[in-house]
Structure 1
């Protein structure tokens, strides 16, 4: 099952010619989500081919560089005759302000738009095999981050062992893989534990929005496959990062190390690094042994399962009874 991230806006509050304001698009198989929606996001969606078919928008906080793209996006959806519901998740206590913003700037939509307040610890969305939950962040306004966590998958089915035990190819394979014991013609009972390995972890993607580094973020991001973290400044501007409730690239990298994350994407890059992001990447890579990078707008990243195997996921998902 594919899990793909498209970085639509990687810049800070002031956009540049290369970096738009904050927005991240996430596609999980047929589902599409948007995290933050800064000014110009809908044009980025057209430019990079994501389409507008998102079901949920997860807003980390109500600063303009994370929200001002919503009125235009809603109007475009309306002009395109959208009928499906859209749910906009916002930090607890800010739903009324979001509603007023949309009423003032976007007008009435012909499709249902729900605004739902979420507090840290709440599950904002629960789907088939995953959930998206909010967690506490540290910015200079009400804010949350979001983590997508997939459920564990079934262990791998050992077809060779099953055949050695006399299990015939066919429905019994599926029953064993589903956790059900089977009885063979000679009365022998084969238990799932004999032919099915340990559960395999799903994937975790964390998006912080604007924040100071926090231990809670490291806890939420423990073992994350991808951590997308505020890295507005380099260390020579650490005082400014503290005053404005942002993080430096080194702080983001130290947190990624604490969390033992696999990859770290540094976003919300200040316009002062419009010429080069080398200082951010250099200090992040000095503090983090995993893959640390500053994505460009439009970069697309596939998030693989954490347990590589000789067979592809499509082969594994086809079922133990496949021939």
Structure 2
């Protein structure tokens, strides 16, 4: 799995930080979280293939998180896209996409399926054999969502048990792997009889724009997340501004990481007011002094982070 930060800025872009957008590559597929202005151009400088984007997850409908959609939707149409595209987001997402498709002249002729998600309760919005995606309602100035991407790990075959039970490599073993029971010497053998517990899979949470929420941290802990991408619009000296605008400081984000039990936290959504990151780096040093086991990074545009 690889995370690529396409944009790590906040409401106003800078020379060095574009509007928010994050790509997550898993099993040959691209999952896009938010689509700020300039996303399609940022993609050009990466190995992200826009044609492999099948699911876009919008955290909320502020312009800095969605104004890249019209251009991206048009560009992949120009490239010949025919397969459906799924867009997930909070209330009013359907109306927004209708406006995008209803303005100007375009040639978007592939299916776009828009899924509006409740901003009141957590939901599992996608479930496959390999991964699942959850939404979680967060607190911002408009309806807003956080998302969690979780790898589904299958039980591992215990070859010692297979050998001990006298199961040979062939049709019987294949049936067990497919989840069917097998009768051998008058005994019914199930998949549980020949497997080990699955290893812990990769789980990544993305806060979107929000105040620090202990409940979200508890949700991440319940899902056994190991990586958190959290907004850090302000440094802690601007805590009042963060509260007034319903955002988080770097220290807020770090504390949520600690509560959630993740091993890595990536800070993003940095305000344009910061010419340097000294204030953020000082907060990280203070945090690491008491929490050395947690890996902390400040995300930068086009930064890649791999997970195994």
Q: TM-score range by the shorter chain?
A: 0.7 to 0.9
Give 5+ residue unaligned stretches, structure 2: none
1:66 Cα offset (Å) = 0.5
Question: 1:148: which partner in 2?
Answer: 149
1:64 Cα offset (Å) = 1.1
Q: What is the CA–CA distance in structure 2 between the aligned matches of 1:44 and 1:102, rounded to whole Å? A: 23
3-state DSSP class of the match of 1:109? coil
TM-score by length of 1: 0.83
- 1:233 has 2:234 as partner: yes
Question: 2:34: which partner in 1?
Answer: 36
1:212 Cα offset (Å) = 0.4
Question: 1:282: which partner in 2?
Answer: 285
1:46 Cα offset (Å) = 0.8
Question: 1:311: which partner in 2?
Answer: none
The verdict on how the C-alpha distance between 1:172 and 1:256 changes in structure 2, with shifts beyond 3 A counting, is: same
1:260-287 Cα shifts (integer Å, max 9, x gaps): 1121111101123332352353355346
* CA contact 1:177–1:196 (8 Å) conserved in 2: no
The verdict on how the C-alpha distance between 1:105 and 1:274 changes in structure 2, with shifts beyond 3 A counting, is: farther
1:38 Cα offset (Å) = 0.7
Q: What is the CA–CA distance in structure 1 between the aligned matches of 2:263 and 2:242, rounded to whole Å? A: 25
TM-score by length of 2: 0.87
1:36-68 Cα shifts (integer Å, max 9, x gaps): 011111011111120212112111111111011
- 1:158 has 2:158 as partner: yes
The verdict on how the C-alpha distance between 1:182 and 1:79 changes in structure 2, with shifts beyond 3 A counting, is: closer
Task: State the superposition RMSD in angstroms.
Answer: 2.4
1:147 Cα offset (Å) = 1.2
Q: What is the CA–CA distance in structure 2 between the aligned matches of 1:264 and 1:114, rounded to whole Å? A: 32
* CA contact 2:93–2:114 (8 Å) conserved in 1: no
Question: 1:301: which partner in 2?
Answer: 305
Question: 2:260: which partner in 1?
Answer: 259
- 1:119 has 2:104 as partner: no
* Structure 1 segment 241-256 matched on structure 2, within 5 A: 241-256=242-257
Give 5+ residue unaligned stretches, structure 1: 305-323
The verdict on how the C-alpha distance between 1:150 and 1:191 changes in structure 2, with shifts beyond 3 A counting, is: same
Q: What is the CA–CA distance in structure 1 between the aligned matches of 2:193 and 2:215, rounded to whole Å? A: 39
The verdict on how the C-alpha distance between 1:163 and 1:128 changes in structure 2, with shifts beyond 3 A counting, is: closer
The verdict on how the C-alpha distance between 1:71 and 1:299 changes in structure 2, with shifts beyond 3 A counting, is: same
* CA contact 2:90–2:118 (8 Å) conserved in 1: yes
Question: 1:214: which partner in 2?
Answer: 213
Aligned length: 300
* Structure 1 segment 1-323 matched on structure 2, within 5 A: 3-53=1-51, 54-104=53-103, 107=106, 109-120=108-119, 121-154=122-155, 156-178=156-178, 182-184=182-184, 192-222=191-221, 223-276=224-277, 277-279=280-282, 281-286=284-289, 288=291, 289-304=293-308
* CA contact 1:11–1:21 (8 Å) conserved in 2: yes
Q: What is the CA–CA distance in structure 2 between the aligned matches of 1:286 and 1:238, rounded to whole Å? A: 21
The verdict on how the C-alpha distance between 1:111 and 1:239 changes in structure 2, with shifts beyond 3 A counting, is: same
Q: What is the CA–CA distance in structure 1 between the aligned matches of 2:111 and 2:180, rounded to whole Å? A: 43
